Amino acid sequence: MLPVDLWHGVVSEFIRSAGSGALAGDMAGRFVNLHGVVPGMGELRSWENSLSFLADAVRPLAGRDVGVFVGSPGGLSGPPASTAMIREREDGPPAVALEYHLPLSGKRIDVLFTGTDRSGQPWSVVLELKQWSRAWLDDAHATNVRCQEKASAGDLHPHPSEQAADYADWLGDYHSAFVEEGVKASPAAWCHNLEEADAAALLDARFADLLERSPLFLKGQQDGLAAHIGARVGAGGGARVLDRILGASFHPGPRVLDSLEQVLEARREWHLLDEQRVAFNEILAEVRRARAGAGRSVVLVRGAPGTGKTVVAVQLLASALRLEWKAAHATGGKAFTTALRSKFRGAHGLFLWNMSLRTAPTQGLDLLLVDEAHRVRESSDMRFTPRAERGKRSQAEELINAARVAVFLLDENQSVRPDEVGSTDLLRAEAKRLGAKVREFDLEAQFRCGGCAEYLQWVDWLLEFRAERPGPWGARYEVSIVGTPEELEAVVPESRARGETARLVAGFCWEWSAAPADGRLVPDVVIGEWKRPWNEKPGDRPYKPGNHPYTLWADTEVGERQIGCIYSAQGFDFARVGVIWGPDLVRRGGRWVARKEHSFDRPVRSSGDMLKLVRNAYRVLLTRGMRGVRLLILDDETREYVRGALTLVV
């Protein structure tokens, strides 16, 4: 079984290991075992420096090797925190886990301290460590902070106390030891290099409520940190509580299910109809069979855009959790997962990346719902994975092994990158190889584009995904071709005036620049004198569902003068959409031609299957509008071909 942390033991062992200099090396070995890649020198140095400071700070908790620390955490009955050492306990001192990996998540908690308080309540202190030497805020409205670590200034970061609080909330909502077994999480942060004079931004009044819940300790405040930790975990039982945490699993709690249910009940588009209900009922039955010992299954649910694959998936997720089964939703698309996390903000931790299942325990879930399964990758190997470690397992194998029943919802004409290999044939073959039985369902009814199946069929006919020309759709869906970007852009204010949403999207025919330091986006999309930026490119910093650049582009006024590319738009729907059809896909000599010289999507451009991927991309862009689409086609011959194809059905 792969490790879920990089080191754990009682606090006295932690102090001895940190003092001997062996701790970072031990952690590096477990890191390679878990990730298949050697940690970077920066991470190694941070372990060596921060954990050495921490070991000195918590020395009072070790006592005479098994001594305990007494006190009472804030908000609980009893005397205030004390540094008095009391008699030894049979169940031992506090325990420590370093770099603890949240189950089915790519996130790691720097340090967990575990134990009990004087009343016997089991606790875990979630501690975020920072080596910052200075911190500041951009302005009076900012809550993200900028920091300086040694000589270099970094990007935006959440407040360290907020980062710890978010981890504590995640444990309380999604971790079985906290949801089912009553362990409580207490967040805190320690900037051990940061003088109080340089920390004014972090102590600002705007963070008062946060700091009350998740205190921040600075350089020279190690006694206060030790008192804070000891008050919660100092009465013994550290190893016993830690065992409960390390042996636990992903298990969403009641508050998460309530949040999920509220959205599903309030919005009609999440309700099941016809063959959606058939697939839903059969998949629940398949999970019951698997739980009764009938063996594992793989279920394939196929459907074109708008047939309700995600409705089926999310309703299955809610029903499984209601039945107290272990279930999760996963995708390989960043924009799509972001969209779902934004829609279900109180339950966003249920929506995972496929990569997060790489180290999942075998059949640890009862039900795994892999949405947009056409985006399943060849493998979950990372760029820095050593050559000898690569190719040991396919991503499909990882996903199938993660659950008793793995459901793959896919549309084989929506893969948009060359390493996206999800297909019926591949998933059938992997299931057979792994000894899982296969069931298959097809969804036909159309719920997107105003329920206008003929328009979706026209898009597929236009792009040569189907041979049969559809019938007319009359006034049920609006399609128009315009001659200037100004006419295209007018769809946004016109829709806003009607109380509708609209966005502009485009083929990947212009460079996508990173935002400069001042935050102003570069106007990369240039058509004559008309210039607009792509939406903000996501950086490496963590985002909440509501402030992710994809969410801001799709859900706020910020996005109305920005252009979304395929990676931004996939997974989002708007009332109307304006599509810039660039010169990367053109009609020549009675066939479609992909032109590499006009594509800035480097993986696609270098692929041997560029034509299919670009056609797939425009298929996605053309189906983002629920009520209408407005087209600006930059290539003359292509424009006339599309116009002619439109006149045949309208």
Give the CATH number of the domain where residue 328 resides.
3.40.50.300
DSSP state of 161: H
Task: Answer yes or no: is 428 within a domain.
Answer: yes
571 and 499 together in one domain: yes
Which pTM does this prediction carry?
0.67
pLDDT-derived band of residue 67, with 50, 70 and 90 as boundaries?
A: very low
Question: Domain for residue 268, yes or no?
Answer: yes
Place of tokens 């689409």: 629
Round the average pLDDT of the chain to a whole number and report it.
86
The answer to whether residue 1 sits within a structural domain is no
Candidates 495, 580, 568, 566; CA nearest to 535 is 568
The structural domain count of the chain equals: 3
**Structural domain includes residue 2:** no
pLDDT at 531: 96
- pLDDT tens digits, 295-318: 999 999 998 877 788 889 988 998
pLDDT digits (tens, 9 = 90+) for 520-535: 899 999 999 999 999 9
Same domain, yes or no: 431 and 319: yes
- If you count them, how many residues does the chain have? 650
pLDDT for the residue numbered 267: 63
Do the domain assignments include residue 609? yes
Show Cβ contacts of residue 43 under 8 Å, excluding neighbours closer than 6 positions: none
Q: How far apart are CA 351 and CA 407, in angstroms?
A: 14
Q: Are residues 541 and 564 in the same domain?
A: yes
- Tokens representing 285 are 């039955």
- Cα pseudo-dihedral 385, 391, 395, 399, rounded to 10: -100
Q: Last residue of some domain: 412, 443, 474?
A: 443
Q: What is the pLDDT of residue 62?
A: 84
Q: Which of 246, 269, 293 is the last residue of a domain?
A: 246
Indicate whether 380 belongs to any domain. yes
Helix 41-57, helix 222-233: angle, nearest 10: 80
- Distance separating alpha carbons of residues 414 and 378, to the nearest angstrom: 16
Residues 380 and 482 in one domain: no
Task: With beta carbons less than 8 A apart as the criterion, state whether 574 and 562 touch.
Answer: no
- Based on the fold, state whether residues 523 and 618 are members of the same structural domain: yes
Q: What is the dihedral of CA 540, 546, 552, 555, to 10 degrees?
A: 150
Same domain, 517 and 382: no
In angstroms, the Cα distances linking 292 to 218, 286, 289, 295, 328 are 54, 10, 5, 8, 20
Query: Which structural domain, as residue segments, surrounds residue 606?
Result: 450-647
Q: What is the pLDDT of residues 528-580, one digit of tens each?
A: 999 999 998 887 666 777 778 888 898 889 899 999 999 888 878 898 999 99
Closest by Cα among 640, 630, 629 to 587:
640
Is 309 a member of any domain? yes
619 and 481 in a single domain? The answer is yes
Where in 528-568 does DSSP place strands (E)?
530-532, 563-564
Q: What is the CATH number of the domain that holds 473?
A: 3.40.50
- Collapsed DSSP state (helix, strand, coil) of residue 461: helix
The pLDDT of residue 426 is 95
> What whole-number distance in Å separates Cα of residue 478 and Cα of residue 501?
15
Give how far Cα 570 sits from Cα of 167, 173, 625, Å.
Answer: 28, 28, 12
Domain co-membership, 352 together with 470? no
**Distinct helix (H) and strand (E) counts, the chain:** 22, 26
Residue-wise pLDDT tens digits, 461-476: 999 999 999 999 888 8
Asked whether residue 193 is domain-assigned, the answer is yes
Q: Using 50, 70 and 90 to split pLDDT, how confident is the model at 390? A: low
Asked if 265 and 237 sit in the same domain, the reply is no
Residues 416 and 480 in one domain: no
* Paired tokens of 246: 């390390």
pLDDT of the residue at 391: 58
Structure tokens at 81: 């925190």
Q: Are residues 458 and 649 in contact, defined by beta-carbon separation less than 8 angstroms? A: yes
pLDDT at 332: 87
Residue 377 and residue 292 share a domain: yes
- Please give the residue that has the higher pLDDT: either 69 or 636: 636
Q: Which of 289, 269, 355 is nearest to 573 (CA)?
A: 269
Counting Cα atoms < 13 Å in the Cβ hemisphere of 443 gives 30
Domain boundary (384, 408, 443) is at 443
What is the rounded CA–CA span in Å between residue 189 and residue 167?
12
- Selection from 3, 49, 1, 8 nearest residue 30 by Cα: 3
Residue range 39-54: average pLDDT? 85
Based on the domain organization, do 120 and 37 belong to the same domain?
Answer: yes
Of all helices (H) and strands (E), which one includes residue 369? Answer: strand 365-370
* CA–CA separation, 70 and 83 (whole Å): 7
